[in-house]
Amino acid sequence: MAREDPLADPTPLIRRVYAYVAYRIGDGPDAEDVTSEVFERALKYRSSYDPTRGGALAWLIGIARRCIDGRRYTPAQEEFADFEQVAPQDLEANALERLTLARVLAVLDDRSRELLALRYGADLSARQIGVILGLKTNAVEVSLHRALARVRAELEEQERSQGDLLRDPAPRTSL
């Protein structure tokens, strides 16, 4: 029986791996380098691929996680390379949303950030995440639910504190 080739259709895999890596370390050349490294390792070790342990995407995401961890990346600072493609008012709102979200995600623990990156960066299902992390699907779903609840609570807290500043400025005293 012939072994299944995990890289038989690489185009969608490249897009999904890049999306995950970009979600974790930021968009741009560093994400491209890590994605290239992932596929280089995949080609080198393709004989070790075991389809019974998960699909090709799960295998590649696992490689990507090791590549990112091996480089000890810190979350990327916001870059505005594509600012010319967006109207100025959209750019300002987009930048504010991204900075706010980055601040909120920084409050989360590493595991929660990793789960959110796998779910929304790599667009993996809870089952696929469970395979990658060695967790049961239900444990992944519960952890994602809790992480999203923390994100929502933090966003609401920031919104309240900003609203308080706008409504009740500090009284000015004259000297």
Query: What pLDDT digit, counting tens, does each position of 63-80 carry?
Result: 999 999 887 655 544 444
**Can you give the length of the chain in residues?**
175
Return the half-sphere exposure (C-beta side, CA atoms, 13 A cut-off) of residue 132.
26
pLDDT higher than threshold 70 for residue 83: no
Q: What's the rounded Cα separation, in Å, for the pair 123 and 110?
A: 18
Q: Which of 76, 109, 130 is the last residue of a domain?
A: 76
pLDDT of 28-57, one tens digit each? 899 999 999 999 999 999 988 988 888 899
Statement to judge: residues 69 and 125 lie in one domain: no
Q: Which of 51, 76, 101 is the last residue of a domain?
A: 76
Could you give the number of structural domains in the chain? Answer: 2
Statement to judge: residues 103 and 63 lie in one domain: no
Statement to judge: residues 71 and 89 lie in one domain: no
Statement to judge: residues 3 and 56 lie in one domain: yes
Statement to judge: residues 1 and 41 lie in one domain: yes
Which residue type is seen at 139?
A: A
Structure-token match 């609203």, residue found? 163
* Residue 171 in domain: no
Statement to judge: residues 71 and 90 lie in one domain: no
Band of pLDDT at residue 169, cut at 50, 70 and 90: low
The token pair at 8 is 């038989």
Statement to judge: residues 48 and 23 lie in one domain: yes
Residue 140, C-beta contacts closer than 8 angstroms, at least 6 positions apart: 115, 126, 127, 129, 130, 133
End-to-end CA distance of the chain: 88
Structural domain including 118 reads 85-164
Residue of 154, 134, 136 lying closest to 146 (CA atoms): 154
